[in-house]
């Protein structure tokens, strides 16, 4: 006869019970090592992305600190100008002296904002305005120039630097 209070012998085939780990806290050296490793990784990525995606033509650093004034002309071909007045009307009423000129880089970031200058009739029913935007950073592969809200036009860096920007609108 067995007693209800007799202990049951342990199963000889059962794996031994693992002791429960106790948390003793985080070693401050581990935190310092993790922070240094993270900083090194961020620094390496920053340098790598800067070298890989600078967007600068050969020989010109992207962030060289150089800037230039973009200059050129904007011709509005809408007809009907008198000898002394020059500006858009009807669907072109947004084109006049002082109209916004915006310069963007390839990523669409605004680099500079300028304006149309005084327009002059050219005798063929068109109006030719001066166009300028100051302090455009050098080193882009190309520039996108927009007058008013009329869409961005790609301009080569040589033309932008040398004042050879010539945009037009209308027939």
DSSP 120-137: EE-SSSEEEEEEEEEEEE
Q: Which residues have a Cβ under 8 Å from the Cβ of 47 and sit 6 or more positions away?
A: none
pLDDT in tens, 87-138: 777 788 888 899 999 999 999 999 999 999 988 888 777 889 999 999 999 9
CA distances for 142 relative to 107, 125, 171, angstroms: 10, 32, 26
Cα angle value 55/65/40 (rounded, 5°): 65
pLDDT digits (tens, 9 = 90+) for 26-82: 677 766 666 666 666 666 656 555 555 544 444 334 445 589 999 999 999 875 555
Q: Which helix (H) or strand (E) holds 81?
A: none
DSSP summary character for residue 91 = G
Pull the structure tokens for residue 25: 């806290």
| 90: DSSP letter | G
Residues 6+ apart with CB under 8 A from 95: 74, 76, 87, 88, 116, 127, 129, 147, 148, 169
Q: What is the reported pLDDT for 106?
A: 93
Instruction: Give the least confident one: 17-21, 66-70, 81-85, 146-150.
Output: 81-85
Task: State the pTM of this model.
Answer: 0.59
3-state secondary structure at position 31:
helix
Q: How far apart are CA 72 and CA 75, in angstroms?
A: 10
Mean pLDDT of 152-161: 95
What separation in angstroms does the CA of 13 have from each of 19, 72, 164? Answer: 18, 91, 90
């Amino acid at each position: 006869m067995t007693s209800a209070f007799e202990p049951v012998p342990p199963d000889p085939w059962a794996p031994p019970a693992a002791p429960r780990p106790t948390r003793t806290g985080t070693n401050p050296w581990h935190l310092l090592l993790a922070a240094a490793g993270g900083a090194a990784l961020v620094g390496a990525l920053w340098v790598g992305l800067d070298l890989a995606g600078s967007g600068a033509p050969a020989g010109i650093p992207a962030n060289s600190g150089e800037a230039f004034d973009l200059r050129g002309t904007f011709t509005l071909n809408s007809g009907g100008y008198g000898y002394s007045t020059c500006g858009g009307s009807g669907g072109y009423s947004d084109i006049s002296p002082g109209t916004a000129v915006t310069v963007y880089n390839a990523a669409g970031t605004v680099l500079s904002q300028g304006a149309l200058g005084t327009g002059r009739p050219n005798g063929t029913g068109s109006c030719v305005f001066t166009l300028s935007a100051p302090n455009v950073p050098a080193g882009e592969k190309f520039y996108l120039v927009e007058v008013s809200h009329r869409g961005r036009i790609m301009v080569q860096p040589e033309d932008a630097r040398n004042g050879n920007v010539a945009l037009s609108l209308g027939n």
